Chains A and B, each alone.
Chain A
Amino acid sequence: MVTASSLTKRYGALVAVDELTFSLRPGTVTGFLGPNGAGKTTTLRLLLGLAEPTAGEALVFGRRYHELDNPARRVGAVLESSDFHPGRSGRNHLRGLALAAEIPSSRVEEMLDLVELHSAADRRVKTYSLGMRQRLGLAAALLGDPELLVLDEPANGLDPAGVYWLRSFLRRFAEQGRTVLLASHMLAEIAQTVDQVVIISRGRRIASGRIDELTRGGKTLEDTYLELTTAREFS
């Protein structure tokens, strides 16, 4: 489904992603964790073909992203909460993407319903709250009815009802045999949503496994995470 093997990205002397290897199985939600600057977003960009790896490879469905036919129908992604032209409406943004991905515009209306943005669909995006932008981004990612969803901090700015909705949505999504990769700092939320986690620090994988294994012995995900990442910081 998704495989990173010895994935490496250097920017000059800075090693953003360092020999990172992991894979995701269909039907799972994977939390992708790590301190600020650990290389999470860079890894997602490498997976999605927005950046070229310096070494190693990142494959989705066994191929590099740009080799997929109509990738929007297989992979949905939200990398930033603000990837919209502020002067265009939410509906207009989705229609533009649907047109480019050859997706019928009826799907735009379905997605607006799904993320409950119908009443605001004709307003300019610059009037949207952060939570509404997140939901618009999710609607855009889901336009092509993808099998894989890649999300970077999707719960940021969502209200409690929105967070609850997102969690149940992602669970249902995975139960249909589809796959989610979820980069986030919200550990309590992650612990309730994901099946497994991959924790990276300074571009390297420092831990990975099923959530129940990492929280064995009464430890919370936060305890495990802090133990791993701070031990690493000061070593």
Chain B
Amino acid sequence: MLALVLLAVLLHGLALPAENVDSTSEQLTMVVGWGEKLGAVFAGLLGAMSMTSEIRHGTIRPTFLVTPQRNRVLGAKVLVSMFFGGAFGLIATALAVGAGSAALATRAIESQLDAGAYALFLAGGTGAGALWAAIGISIGAVIRNQVPTLIGICAWLLFVEGLLVGDVAGVGDVGRFAPGAAAAAISGQDPDKLLAPAVGLVLLVLYAAAAALAGSLATARRDVV
């Protein structure tokens, strides 16, 4: 994750034309924003792995034999993964801020981000990581098969959401309500297109809660094979 954040932030910070990275919004979205996006992706994968690798390796059987209250198992996994997912988000955004500022500084482009913007970005990245980890667990609990779950999360966050937010499909500006865009909105990215940070946070919490409900129902009702 760290290497990917470094690569993405440096590539965009160093290679984008200067007039595309000289405003607050552009610097936040096009350069350091990669820290938030990749942090959320890896947090989602972490959550998904927590559930699907138990199913893949069969440890879900002893786990449920020891704790037959399956929702307790799911709840514990959500709490632990949210903690580590939040840490993923924080580390990824912090690294992105460092690398992004350095990249812009070497090109003598002035950073437009003030302390408040940085603070919001780090806090938003942490929140996005924590909530995406919770979403990842629930997706894993519903899909169960590890590889499709991981590929699905990557494809959605890195590809499908980009198309939606960029409105390639011509469906209007619904893309900003998608869960990845809501996660990006929390850290103050792209305020013209995305929701306000607080609205993004509320929306992502709702997504996580809906996913948790689906994951909980799927886990409680299905037989363990």
Q: Which of B57, B65, B69, B225 has the most CB of A within 10 A?
A: B65
CB within 8 Å for A50 and B57 given contacts A72-B66, A100-B66: no
From residue 139 to 174 of chain B, which have CB atoms closer than 8 A to chain A?
A: none
- Asked whether B57 lies within 8 Å of A86 as measured between CB atoms, the reply is yes
- Asked whether B65 lies within 8 Å of A48 as measured between CB atoms, the reply is yes
CB-CB < 8 A to A48: which residues of B?
Answer: 65
CB distance from A120 to the nearest CB of B (A): 19
Give the docked Cα–Cα distance between A52 and B67 (Å). 16
- Asked whether B65 lies within 8 Å of A77 as measured between CB atoms, the reply is yes
Q: Which of B53, B62, B63 has the most CB of A within 10 A?
A: B62
CB within 8 Å for A66 and B66 given contacts A50-B61, A50-B223, A84-B57: no
CB within 8 Å for A51 and B57 given contacts A77-B65, A140-B62: no
From residue 60 to 113 of chain B, which have CB atoms closer than 8 A to chain A?
A: 61-69
CB distance from B68 to the nearest CB of A (A): 4
CB distance from A167 to the nearest CB of B (A): 24
CB distance from B94 to the nearest CB of A (A): 29
CB-CB < 8 A to B24: which residues of A?
Answer: none
CB within 8 Å for A83 and B61 given contacts A51-B223, A51-B224, A52-B223: yes
Give the docked Cα–Cα distance between A80 and B53 (Å). 16
Whether A65 is near chain B, meaning CB under 8 Å from some CB there, is: yes
- Asked whether B68 lies within 8 Å of A49 as measured between CB atoms, the reply is yes
CB within 8 Å for A80 and B61 given contacts A45-B223, A51-B224, A85-B53: yes
Whether A1 is near chain B, meaning CB under 8 Å from some CB there, is: no
* Overall SS of chain A's interface: loop
CB-CB < 8 A to B225: which residues of A?
Answer: 45, 51
CB distance from B167 to the nearest CB of A (A): 43
Residues 183-225 of chain B, each 1 if its beta carbon lies under 8 Å from chain A, else 0: 0000000000000000000000000000000000000010111
- Asked whether B224 lies within 8 Å of A82 as measured between CB atoms, the reply is no
CB-CB < 8 A to B58: which residues of A?
Answer: 80, 82-84
CB within 8 Å for A83 and B62 given contacts A45-B223, A45-B224, A52-B223: yes
CB-CB < 8 A to B66: which residues of A?
Answer: 71-72, 97, 100-101
CB within 8 Å for A66 and B69 given contacts A82-B58, A83-B62, A97-B62: yes
Q: What is B's interface to A at a CB cutoff of 8 Å? A: 53, 57-59, 61-69, 221, 223-225
Q: What is A's interface to B at a CB cutoff of 8 Å? A: 45, 48-52, 65-66, 68, 71-72, 75, 77, 79-80, 82-86, 97, 100-101, 140
CB-CB < 8 A to A84: which residues of B?
Answer: 57-59
Give the residue name and chain of the A residue nearest to B54 (CB). A85
CB distance from B204 to the nearest CB of A (A): 30
CB within 8 Å for A66 and B62 given contacts A50-B224, A51-B223, A52-B223: no
CB distance from B110 to the nearest CB of A (A): 48
Shortest 3 CB-CB contacts between residues of A and residues of B? A66-B68, A51-B223, A83-B58
Give the residue name and chain of the B residue nearest to A140 (CB). B62
CB-CB < 8 A to A97: which residues of B?
Answer: 62, 66
Instruction: Select A49's contact among B57, B63, B64, B221, beta carbons within 8 Å.
Output: B64
CB within 8 Å for A71 and B65 given contacts A45-B224, A50-B224: yes
Give the docked Cα–Cα distance between A52 and B225 (Å). 11
Give the residue name and chain of the A residue nearest to B56 (CB). A85
CB distance from B61 to the nearest CB of A (A): 5
CB distance from A108 to the nearest CB of B (A): 14
CB-CB < 8 A to B62: which residues of A?
Answer: 83, 97, 140
- Asked whether B65 lies within 8 Å of A72 as measured between CB atoms, the reply is yes
- Asked whether A79 lies within 8 Å of B61 as measured between CB atoms, the reply is yes
